[in-house]
Every structure is written in C-alpha cells, then in structure tokens.
Amino acid sequence: MIVREAKLLNATKEQYQALDEAIRTAQFIRNKAVRYWMDNSGVGRNDLYALCKVLAQEFSFAKKLNSAARQASAERAWASISNFYTRCRKGEKKKGYPKFKKHCRSVEYKVSGWKLSEDCMYITFTDGFNAGAFSLYCDKETREDLFRLKINRVRVVRRADGYYAQFCFDADRKEQGNYTGNVIGLDLGLQYFYKDQNDNAVVYPKYLRKAEKRLKRQQKRLSKKHRKGAKPQSKSYHRTRKRLGKLHLKVQRQRKDWAIKLARNVVASNDVVVYEALKVSNLVKNHNLAKSISDAGWYQFTQWLDYYGKIWDKAIVAVAPNYTSQDCSNCGHRVKKSLSTRTHSCPHCGIKICRDTNAALNILKRGMEVLGMEWQNSTQGHWESGSEDRKHGEKTASTIEGKPEIASGFL
Ligand SMILES: [Zn+2]
C-alpha cells in the first residue's frame, strides 16, 4: 500500500474547525467502542460496528460523521483490542491494555464522505460536518497518482503546521530494477549509521544531529515554562509548545527524506541486502535520547529497504542479531568483547579488522545462509575488491547529504 500526502489549503477558519470536529467525533466513537468492549464480555468486531449505528442515533454529532468513517473509528478501537489479545496469546510481558485516547489527530474516511474535483486540485468533504472544499497542495507524483490510482482511504491528519489529507492506494508498485551482482551486509551502529562488509561507512549527517540538538534545547525551554498543575498554562508556554511541534515536524521530515534516499541507494546498487533485525519492543524501552533517535532512524531505514526490495524484486533479508559482533567472521571463533572494544582481533586465526566490519561480514554470511546461496568469505579477496567498492561507497555517502530527490509522499 502506498500513502501519499497533500496539504489542505485555502479554506476558512470554520472549515478547519469542521475538520477538528470530525476528528474529535472519530475519537469519541473509538473511545466509546473501547468502553463498550470493557463493559461487556465477548464483544467482537461486528458488535462494535453495530455500536456505531446506536451511537449515531443517540448523538447528533456522531450522526454527522460519514457512516464509513464511523466504522473506521470502530476498526481503530478493534485494532487496539485485537493487538492486546495477540500479545496476551503470545504471553508477552507488556500486554498493552487498550486505553482511551485523548489527543487523536486524525479521522479516516473510506470511499465515501469526500470527493475529488476532476482536475484533482480540490477535495470536498461531503458528510454532515460540511467542511467543504480545500485545495490540495502536493508534488507532481502525488497528483499523478490521484489521477491514476483507485483511492481506498482518505485520512485527515492535523499537524503542528496545518491539516493534511493522506491518500491510501492499493496499487503495488513494480519497476524494472537493474541487477548489479553485488551483495551487502549492514551493521547498524552508533558510531556509524551503518558499516558494510567492505569497510564502507555511512555516517549520520551533521545537519540532522544539529537539528536534534536544537530540538533538545527547545524541549528544555518548554519544560521550564511548564507550571505544574496550572490551568491554563501561560501564553508563552503554548507559544513555545507550538514552535516545538513545528520543529519536530521539520526534523521528522528531514530524517525521513534522508532514510528514504539512503535506502533507495543501497537497494539500487545491490541485489541482496542483509541487515540485523531490530526488536521494536526494545526500541520503546530505550531512554537514552541519542540511542533512541538512531534506533528510530534504523527502523525507518530498514522498512524502506524492504519497500524498495519489493519494488525492484531484490532480496532483502533480516537476520537475528545474536553474537554478530562477537563471532569471528573468518574462523567462527567467539571472541568476547565489550562495547568499547573497536577492533576485532581473533586469537584463533590472527585476523584483525574493525569490529563493525566483522559484524557486517557475519550478518552477510547469515543472510546468504538464509537464502541458500554460496558466498565465499575470504577477507583477502575483500580487501582487493574493497578498493573499488570503497570508491563507490564514498560516492553514495556524499550524495546522501545532498537534497533529497524523492518525494516524501510515501510512507
Ligand atoms: Zn578467527
């Protein structure tokens, strides 16, 4: 599924308020559905659909929301309920009991309740909230897709800098990829964003680091202005809060553009890409800011690897990360080392290479095993072919810092 985004512009204050009301109503229905599930036993998805009808009869504002959008809200509630069930079944520690939402930012329409103009320049919301017509501000690719593809869902999202419409398309994009015969194993790390088996490193760009620092500073400024228990908070608090929201948005977009571009590069120049599978549950636990930011970046990056792999029909493999940095890539001997040990030197076979390169080699080896492919792991050979690859790697690394050429419309 592809998601494309357009900003909703050129509308009156009342129109945006109508969107807000629709979002609030969607939240109301979702919360009511969760409450209904809590209070009654044996509630299934269909019971929640039935509840939508009852709510529409009971509350005039609920009736205003398009009926399919009401159902979509109930589906949201059901998603959190069924995820909870799945976690229980798996016996996970954190069950994640469904909660009520306070700050929903979006409402989802299906195929009704909205209408695109013939030229796809405007969208009109036609349900009871009467939000009316908005002009769509988006890039060329998005506009083409609006013409070309069947839209399954439209989501209205409120962000710090305005309102957006997200269009979900079902089309599976397939393109002719060019095959290069190259394989790559990626070790995702803190010092480098990743390092591959040929010792090429890609570093996290400076402008993103700086932006994140700015974010941290602004966050501090905000918490200084926060008065505990005060209602309402001061004007300047809210001003800062809004500014922080916009900054978050900007950094988020920059990070995403960078991850997309890098992933696109990696998949385009390799036929097989192997990376370490990251445990998402581990990501959430992390309280170290620097670490959590790069974790989020890796996760996004690996998802884009998968995405481009699908488009160009290439093998993208995620392998278990156990012992990838400990085992010797040359002889398989397990060499225990702490996080601060930067080189891997094996007492068994005498090899001495960068710790991350060693891990990348192990990762690649595992991936090839998964694929059932032969891959000769002779470090000697790698150093020879390495010089050529390294030039190539540098080229990739330097283009990444430039302006992204891919639209940020995908998800
Ligand atoms: Zn060894």
Instruction: Determine the Cα–Cα distance for residues 43 and 20; give it in Å rounded to an integer.
Output: 30
Q: 328 alpha carbon to ligand 1 midpoint, in Å? A: 5
pLDDT score, position 290: 58
Which residues are 9's β-sheet partners?
135
Q: 350 alpha carbon to ligand 1 midpoint, in Å? A: 6
Listed residues: CB within 5 A of ion ligand 1: 328, 330-331, 333, 346, 348-349
Q: 41 alpha carbon to ligand 1 midpoint, in Å? A: 59
Provide the pLDDT confidence category of residue 286 given band limits of 50, 70 and 90.
low
Instruction: Determine the Cα–Cα distance for residues 240 and 42; give it in Å rounded to an integer.
Output: 46
pLDDT score, position 384: 35
Q: 211 alpha carbon to ligand 1 midpoint, in Å? A: 41
Output the pTM of the full model. Answer: 0.71
Q: 185 alpha carbon to ligand 1 midpoint, in Å? A: 19
pLDDT score, position 406: 34
Instruction: Determine the Cα–Cα distance for residues 289 and 295; give it in Å rounded to an integer.
Output: 10
Count CB atoms within 10 A of the CB of residue 373.
Answer: 11
Instruction: Determine the Cα–Cα distance for residues 365 and 332; give it in Å rounded to an integer.
Output: 11
Instruction: Determine the Cα–Cα distance for residues 330 and 185; give it in Å rounded to an integer.
Output: 15
Q: Are the CB atoms for 3 and 165 separated by under 8 Å? A: no
pLDDT score, position 253: 87
What proportion of the chain, given as a percentage, has pLDDT over 90?
A: 48
Provide the pLDDT confidence category of residue 46 given band limits of 50, 70 and 90.
very high
Q: Give the tens place of pLDDT for each residue, 77-134.
A: 999 999 999 999 988 888 889 999 999 999 999 999 999 999 999 999 998 998 999 9
Q: 374 alpha carbon to ligand 1 midpoint, in Å? A: 20
Q: 82 alpha carbon to ligand 1 midpoint, in Å? A: 47
Q: Give the tens place of pLDDT for each residue, 340-388.
A: 788 999 999 988 999 989 999 999 999 998 888 877 654 433 333 333 4
